[in-house]
Chains A and B, each alone.
Chain A
Amino acid sequence: MFITFALITLLGAIGMLLQKNVIVAGLCMVVAFFGVAGLFVLLANPVAAALQIIVYTGAIMVLVLFVIMMLNSHEEEKAQASHPVQKWVSLALVVAAAIGAVNLVVASPGLKALGIKGAEMPQAMTLQKVGTLLFADHVLGFEVAGLLLLAAMIGAVALTKRNL
């Protein structure tokens, strides 16, 4: 199962990078999001999977595709001058990020717990638990995020409606 969803995610992501057509690239990204949602389900977190689909594929990607269609740009434009340096720098960054991610996973306590027999299995996440976590343990972060989103919303309105 993990291999299936990982492959779906990877193929979607690679397809998105390689596609010249912007709309098809967007749809490939939707495929990748679906793979990630499947991985969330495997991690016993169906709430995150549902939210991933609702927020990312159901709202954000639709709006992105909507804007692309509105501007009606079918093909990606070629860069005016290509610098080979960019390619190497990005490749190095990707490799560094990958090594860092693998190190993080290997060093995580969850992986060590897997080796111990009879260790407590993680419980599946429910919406109730998410609510308690948000409003009891992480209330400050929640409020800050809310404030940030409000500021962004006011900023967007102010930018588009100059003369209210």
Chain B
Amino acid sequence: MDMLASLLHITPAVLWMVLKVVIVFGGVMSLAAIFTWVERRGSAMIQDRIGPNRAALFGKIRIIGLAQILADGIKMFFKEDLVPTDSNRNLFWLAPFLAFVPALLGFAVIPFGKSFSSGGATYHLSVLDPGNGMGMLYPLAIGGMAVYGVLVAAWSSNNKWSILGGMRASAAMVSYEIGMSLAVVSIFMTTGGYDPSEIISSQGGTFLGVLPNWNIFHQPLGFIVFFTCMFAETNRLPFDFAEGESEIVAGFNTEFGSMKFSLMALAEYSHMMTASALIATLYFGGWQVPFVQNPPVLLSVACFVLKLLFFAWVFVWIRWTLPRFRYDQLMALGWKRMLPLAMVNLVFHAWRMSQGH
């Protein structure tokens, strides 16, 4: 590390930062791209079809259809880029970025492996080092920004289906944010800290001797609330009111074509990755390996990635298993079920803590 840094005439800290940014954002973006393919293959599997398996590199190398991602990308780049005549042009251009950037940024604070020290310096495996003062507030803040992508896309296309999709989605996202925050607050409370690294290190060891000491076993109710809210936040089925293609054409991205549409789709999948990482960090011990006291760094990274991929797959799985909710059902679920459940969870854990547990 030090040698490479001196070769490039930068300090090791800067090199490490650059490496982390490249690894994290490159990793999340490529995972998101791969998941567009996983989604299609997964839906095919669930619906007893075959799915895209024809695309091949140079017409020969087929690798179970993975070349489909590349083919889709190239196709999207070369499509005609249409902008509706009565749209607000500047905002129409801005919308895909407003959707994409927050989806990626949320990942910055999540540790994807155990910190290690080498040559007298400690290296943390998260873009923002622990103790930055923002902690888990940061993904919550950035998650709140995701609404703007949907809202701006919907409004700028000047299309009644778009605006319907945008309004429904933004109302849903804002309502589910409250339940989500309350679920996260009870984690802060029991952990006694709000930094993701503190939350993860508090989840080491075992619970009752047989289970890993993960928050899901301490707060199953909080997990249910957070998990449900994550579906609403990422706009995935059963809560995909932004799109709702059987009701309002394609909702907020009806008018988006070519690479703009592609960015919107990638934003959805990146958001899914961030959401899976949050679920893994908050409720499933992050990089903690079950029943292993001090896991090696590489094992911890592998464990985190495995958890992330599992939850990303759960997102796909649920999308192709459950039908879409009705809008009023979604609102009733958010305000009359999830919010009270989150409050019960919070008060219960506050009471337990006051009893000295």
Chain A residues proximal to chain B, CB less than 8 Å: 21, 23-24, 27, 30, 44-47, 49-51, 53-54, 57-59, 62-63, 65-66, 69-70, 124-128
A50 touches B155 (CB 8 A): no
Among A27, A47, A57, A128, point to the contact of B152 (Cβ < 8 A): A27
A sample of 11 more A-B contacts (CB under 8 A), given A46-B134, A57-B148, is: A23-B91, A45-B133, A46-B133, A50-B141, A53-B142, A53-B144, A54-B137, A58-B141, A69-B151, A69-B163, A125-B133
Chain A residues within an 8 Å CB radius of B137: 46-47, 50-51, 54, 127
Of all chain B residues, the one with the shortest Cβ separation from A129 is B133
Main secondary structure of the interface of A (DSSP, over half): helix
B140 touches A54 (CB 8 A): yes
Chain B residues within an 8 Å CB radius of A69: 151, 154-155, 163, 166-167
* A161 to B: closest C-beta gap in Å: 14
Instruction: Write out, one digit per residue, whether chain B residues 123-136 have a CB within 8 A of any chain A CB (1) or not (0).
Output: 00000000011110
Q: What 9 pairs across the A-B complex have the smallest Cβ distances?
A: A58-B144, A46-B133, A50-B137, A53-B141, A46-B134, A54-B141, A50-B141, A127-B194, A124-B133
Tell me the total A-B contact number using a CB cutoff of 8 A.
78
A58 touches B133 (CB 8 A): no
Instruction: Write out, one digit per residue, whether chain B residues 170-190 have a CB within 8 A of any chain A CB (1) or not (0).
Output: 110010010001000000100
Interface residues of B in 68-126 (CB under 8 A from A): 88, 90-91
B152 touches A58 (CB 8 A): no
B133 touches A65 (CB 8 A): no
Q: Is B145 interfacial (CB-CB < 8 Å)?
A: yes
Of all chain B residues, the one with the shortest Cβ separation from A30 is B148
- A44 to B188 alpha-carbon distance, docked (Å): 21
A58 touches B145 (CB 8 A): yes
A62 touches B170 (CB 8 A): yes
Number of chain B residues whose Cβ lies closer than 8 Å to a Cβ of chain A? 32
Chain B residues within an 8 Å CB radius of A44: 133
Chain B residues within an 8 Å CB radius of A62: 144, 147-148, 151, 170, 174
Between B132, B147, B152, the greatest number of chain A beta carbons within 10 A of the residue's beta carbon is seen for B147
- A44 to B137 alpha-carbon distance, docked (Å): 15
* A96 to B: closest C-beta gap in Å: 34
Chain A residues within an 8 Å CB radius of B144: 53-54, 57-59, 62
Q: Is B16 interfacial (CB-CB < 8 Å)?
A: no
Of all chain B residues, the one with the shortest Cβ separation from A54 is B141
Given A27-B152, A69-B155: A57 touches B145 (CB 8 Å cut-off):
yes
Cβ contacts A to B, 28 pairs, < 8 Å:
A21-B88, A23-B88, A24-B91, A30-B148, A47-B133, A47-B137, A50-B141, A54-B137, A54-B140, A54-B141, A57-B148, A58-B143, A58-B177, A59-B174, A62-B148, A62-B151, A62-B174, A66-B171, A69-B155, A69-B163, A69-B166, A69-B167, A70-B167, A125-B133, A126-B133, A127-B137, A127-B194, A128-B193
Given A66-B167, A69-B151, A69-B163: A127 touches B140 (CB 8 Å cut-off):
no
